[in-house]
Chains A and B, each alone.
Chain A
Amino acid sequence: MTVVDATAAPARTTVARPRPSTATVFLAVLRRDLLVTGKELWVILVQVGLTPLFMLFVFDTILGAQGVVGRSFADLFLPGIIALAAFTTALQSVALPLVKEFGFTMEIEDRLMAPIPTGLVAVGKLVIATIRGLLAAVLIYPLGALVVGSAPWRPEGLPQALLVVLLGAWIGGGLGITLATILPIQRINITLSLVVTPIIWTGCIHYPWPRLSTIPWYQIVTLFNPMTYVSEGVRGALLPTVPHISPWACLAVLTAVAAITTATAVRGFTRRAIQ
């Protein structure tokens, strides 16, 4: 009996089991979201495609044909549409699923129980939202060009455009996570409308910011919208001849806002996850 006891004992010690590296766990959590993103690609395409493409179609093809807007308007508008797609796709593709995962299906719990700091699960969500936003922007560029029949093309501006779009998507994702985790479930829909709609319409998507100088109060209002800097950044990269906010100013503001939304997203997420 002693022999049996002696062999059985080591299997029942309470020496802590080895814990996996943070990177391994983080990548596994990320891989899950990538898999789901892949599965939902067509959903994203619809999310991304429909509204901006219809906007392009109406503002350029229809209003253009009626002579209400000039032909060059499409060139001004397309960069704004790319910025819009990145920002709103990132925001929407993280906010509503997160509300569902925390409030109804609770399916986030399995990842919350993974041995990594809870804040990193939020960062994972942010990374995926950014990827989705980038994907949206990359898709909308050629699709938009197809709708309008032309597009501003300036290869040397692409790195700046990509960087601005990336920051824009990151901010959209951060805002999405923040709203989804701090708002009560019953108020999420109304709040998203209240927040997202003004962001879209005061974000200089349809018009270059410097030209707002004729309406100074509105020009000031738009400065408080991060979307303005995304639109202006993309527009400046693709159409440097059109007056725009300096790229450095755009990047500086966007980086600062990205840092703030990251902090609020991680904080909101962690507070929601751990009572």
Chain B
Amino acid sequence: MTSRGTPPTVEVDQLVKRYPKSEVNAVDGLSFTVEPGEIFGLFGPNGAGKSTTIGILTTRIRATSGRAVIGGVDVLRDPVGARAQLAVVPQHNNLDRSLTPRQNLLYHAAYHGVGRRERESRADDLLERFGLADRADKRIEAYSGGMAQRLMIARALIHEPAVLFLDEPTNGLDPQTRLLIWNRIHQMRDRGVSIVLTTHQMNDAAGLVDRVGVVDHGRLLTLDTPTNLVRSLAGRSILDLTVALGPQGDVDALLTALREVSGVRKAEQLAAPALPAARRPGGFGANGRAMGPGRGGPPGPGGGRGLPPGLGAGRLAALGLGAAVGTLPSARARAGTRIRLHLATDPAALLGPILTLLSDRSANLTDVRVSEPSLEDVFIELTGRGLR
């Protein structure tokens, strides 16, 4: 959010969509706003209503009720006017295969009334900025997934929209392309374009988005900055323990006891088998800051990347915990019961009491991992682990 006092470029108010023959609302009273120059992340599990919401805002789906305004134009009343304010980059490749890449840009600009000379100059500039200048006149079929995605983003920008909708913009792309795309998204934000982004690569996006709305069953579960979300919902850090229980070991009793340790917000048993050792690879020594735009590599299953500013795990390493963590053989780790503790305080202060508690119950600690909660943890916490 770079501006205050100016009206929002996206206003969604009590938006409802019920598809014909459906018994439930796909979008169920959704409300949010996006400021000029803000990157807004709309996150949610598959089928949560994100695509329907984007579909309504981009005039392709008619809302059942509610109000949506894009760039000052009411989408429901004046969809044609709204289209002049926005651009969409869909998840699938919808480039015009009958045209060359350059023509894709030129014709899109023409559809939006950009004059000939202006659109030619903008196309040259965009092709250059997206690294496509030398392949601008080839056939679209010869384009890789990354090139097609870059061209679609360039196409979306050529008519200089007030709001840009990006649906999974970096899905399946190599780190170089992701770096470039995140970088260009940043530049657009700096130019005052509002960006509405959906992605499942939340930890990648955590450093990019200004605010996040988490949607499920068509309703907004929460809306805040990534930093606040992580702080408020998941606690300050996470301690994953692998415990070999004693002969009379009772997991539930142990969990109850752990919950009573001061500073433990929540204790839960994790499903066996153990997650790969790569989980939270950056537990120590990871970038303390949020994942920057385009930082490559697929995020681990639970995160360990994308730590919001100020919550870096590097800080914990400084507490002297590094040696105790992640050093035990993973074969032994797999043999035990896996417990996750959400802490409200520093893990260093809690390790002592926890060890005492475990030894009192003849349980052996076989593995400890400390990590910061990520946006993805927040997401899982809100929307559950069930498959959609």
Interface, chain A (partner B; CB < 8 A): 8-9, 11-21, 24-25, 28-29, 31-32, 35-36, 39, 105-107, 109-117, 273-275
Inter-chain contact A107/B162, CB cutoff 8 Å: no
Name the 3 nearest CB pairs between A and B, nearest first.
A20-B113, A114-B111, A28-B110
B96 interfacial contact with A, CB 8 Å: yes
- Which residues of chain B are near A275, meaning CB under 8 Å? 19, 55, 60-62
Check A115/B162 contact, CB under 8 A, given A107-B98, A110-B94.
Answer: no
- Which residues of chain B are near A35, meaning CB under 8 Å? 99, 103
Q: Across the two chains, which residue of chain B brings its CB closest to A117? A: B80
Inter-chain contact B3/A9, CB cutoff 8 Å: yes
Partner of B60, one of A18, A105, A112: A112
Inter-chain contact A9/B94, CB cutoff 8 Å: no
Mark the stretch among B6-14, B282-290, B333-341 that contacts chain A: B6-14
- Which residues of chain B are near A24, meaning CB under 8 Å? 113
Q: State the CA gap A116–B83 with chains docked (Å).
A: 8
B130 interfacial contact with A, CB 8 Å: no
B54-77 CB contact bits vs A (8 Å, 1 = yes)?
A: 010011111000000001110000
Interface, chain B (partner A; CB < 8 A): 2-3, 5-9, 19, 36-37, 55, 58-62, 71-73, 79-81, 83-88, 90, 92-99, 103-104, 107-108, 110-113, 155, 160, 162, 191-192
**Chain B interface secondary structure, helix, strand, loop or mixed?**
loop
- Which residues of chain B are near A117, meaning CB under 8 Å? 80
Q: A19-B84, A110-B107 are in contact. List 8 more A-B contacts (CB 8 A).
A: A17-B85, A19-B80, A35-B103, A110-B95, A110-B111, A110-B155, A113-B83, A115-B80
Inter-chain contact B113/A25, CB cutoff 8 Å: yes
Check A19/B36 contact, CB under 8 A, given A14-B8, A32-B99, A110-B96.
Answer: no
Inter-chain contact B37/A113, CB cutoff 8 Å: no
Inter-chain contact A12/B37, CB cutoff 8 Å: yes
- Which residues of chain B are near A115, meaning CB under 8 Å? 80-81, 83-84, 111-113
Partner of A107, one of B8, B97, B113, B160: B97
Inter-chain contact B71/A111, CB cutoff 8 Å: no
Check A20/B84 contact, CB under 8 A, given A14-B36, A109-B90.
Answer: yes
